[in-house]
């Protein structure tokens, strides 16, 4: 049994992670602002993680084997956590994102299309941190989501007193009520209704992961001893046409496309730039991934079942 603290963990794959860690017999503490309580038997600390004094007071004398941070978006939040958990844990796992590799958001090494992007493309140990940017401004944070994640990783990677790993998640999908982002439902709805999907003329592939697979990978990372970033994506990149074709097959409708040039605004999952991740490091460390086409049809079926029928 390990003592594990989950920051966030109130919805989607974080909620599933908490349940699976609890089922495995670990002692769980969940920290969030109280909007959603954890399952019975899980300790709940209601506190705003951005309030350092309140967080430190809430932690009191508690120590943990591992902290899993599901909701760290800025270097300011990371610095607060690094100070608050210094001397309280031996390992810190942060949920990060594929967006750290987006070449539209930072000057990154060029990766030729078709070459999976590896973790060393963004090295948190050397990434520049700017704490004086307006990270507390919601609009700024939304516009600089990828950079916030990069700098948060950088702060925690350099923190003393605990081992650190970041799990860089691909685009997360699920079906029905677990379709957290609404993007799969968006595609399913437009195809079912015969509405246009806006795509780039040369749409490039990206990578996905099912929310259950991501919860399993986070549980694995929690129990492991490796450090540094690790990419989390199912095998089998898909472009927007591949995704639409899987939905169309089950919906019984042909997708309708409107094409825009590179740089134009398109639907989610249509990309005119390449940053599809490699999952080779996670495999080398012992994690086995499903293929995207093994689980995506089931997620699509759940989404179509949950969606209202198209009107005539």
* Model pLDDT, residue 182: 84
pTM of the model as a whole: 0.94
Maximum Cα–Cα distance across the chain: 63
CATH of 173-206+236-306, one of 3.40.50.12280, 3.90.25.10, 3.40.30.10, 3.40.640.10: 3.90.25.10
Strand locations in 55-194 (E): 64-69, 89-97, 163-169, 171-173
Sort 29 into a burial class: Cβ within 10 Å, 0-12 / 13-18 / 19+.
Answer: buried
Q: Which CATH number is correct for 3-172+208-232, 3.40.50.170, 3.30.390.50, 3.40.50.300, 3.40.50.720? A: 3.40.50.720
Q: What is the DSSP string of 195-262?
A: -EEEEETTPBPB-EEEHHHHHHHHHHHHH----S-EEE--BS-B-HHHHHHHHHHHHTS--EEEEE-T
Establish how many alpha carbons lie within 13 A of residue 190's alpha carbon, considering only the half-sphere containing its beta carbon.
18
- CA 81 vs. chain centroid, Å, equals 19
**Vertex 98 angle, CA 111 and 280, to 5°:** 70
Do 173-206+236-306 and 3-172+208-232 have the same topology in CATH?
no
Q: Encode the chain (312 residues) as per-residue pLDDT tens digits.
A: 899 999 996 667 878 899 999 999 999 999 999 878 888 999 999 999 999 999 999 999 999 999 999 999 999 999 999 999 999 999 999 999 999 999 999 999 988 888 999 999 999 999 999 999 999 999 999 999 999 999 999 999 999 889 999 999 999 998 766 667 788 999 999 999 999 999 999 999 999 999 999 999 999 999 999 999 999 999 999 999 999 999 999 999 999 999 999 888 999 899 999 999 999 999 999 999 999 999 999 999 998 887 554 432
CB 237 within 8 A of CB 274: no
Domain ranges for the chain, please list them: 3-172+208-232, 173-206+236-306
The separation between the first and the last C-alpha atoms of the chain, rounded to the nearest angstrom, is 56
Nearest to 161 by CA among 251, 87, 57: 87
pLDDT of residue 177: 61
């Amino acid at each position: 049994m390990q003592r594990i603290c989950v920051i966030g963990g109130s919805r989607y794959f974080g909620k599933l992670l908490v349940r699976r860690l609890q089922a495995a017999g670990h002692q769980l503490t969940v920290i969030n602002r109280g909007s959603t309580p954890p399952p019975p038997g899980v300790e709940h600390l209601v506190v705003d993680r951005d309030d350092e004094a309140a967080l430190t007071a809430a932690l009191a004398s508690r120590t943990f084997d591992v902290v899993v941070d599901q909701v760290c978006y800025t270097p300011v939040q990371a610095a607060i956590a690094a100070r608050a958990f210094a001397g309280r844990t031996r390992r810190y796992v942060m949920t990060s994102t594929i967006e750290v590799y987006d070449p539209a958001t930072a000057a990154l090494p060029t990766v030729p299309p078709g070459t999976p992007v590896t973790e060393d493309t963004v090295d948190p140990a050397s990434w520049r941190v700017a704490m004086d940017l307006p990270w507390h401004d919601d609009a700024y944070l939304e516009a600089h989501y990828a950079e916030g994640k990069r700098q948060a990783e950088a702060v925690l990677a350099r923190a003393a007193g605990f081992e650190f790993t970041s799990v860089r998640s691909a685009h997360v999908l699920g079906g029905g009520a677990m379709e957290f982002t609404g993007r799969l439902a968006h595609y399913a709805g437009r195809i079912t209704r015969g509405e246009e999907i806006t795509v780039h003329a040369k749409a490039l592939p990206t990578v996905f992961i099912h929310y259950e697979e991501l919860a399993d990978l986070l549980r694995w990372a929690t129990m492991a001893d490796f450090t540094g970033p690790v990419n989390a994506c199912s095998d089998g990149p898909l472009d927007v046409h591949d995704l639409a074709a899987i939905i169309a097959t089950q919906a019984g409708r042909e997708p309708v496309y409107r094409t825009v040039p590179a740089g134009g605004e398109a639907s989610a999952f249509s990309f005119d730039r390449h940053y599809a991740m490699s999952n080779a490091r996670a495999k080398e460390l012992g994690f086995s991934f499903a293929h995207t086409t093994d689980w995506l049809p089931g997620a699509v079926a759940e989404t179509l079942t949950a969606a209202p029928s198209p009107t005539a």
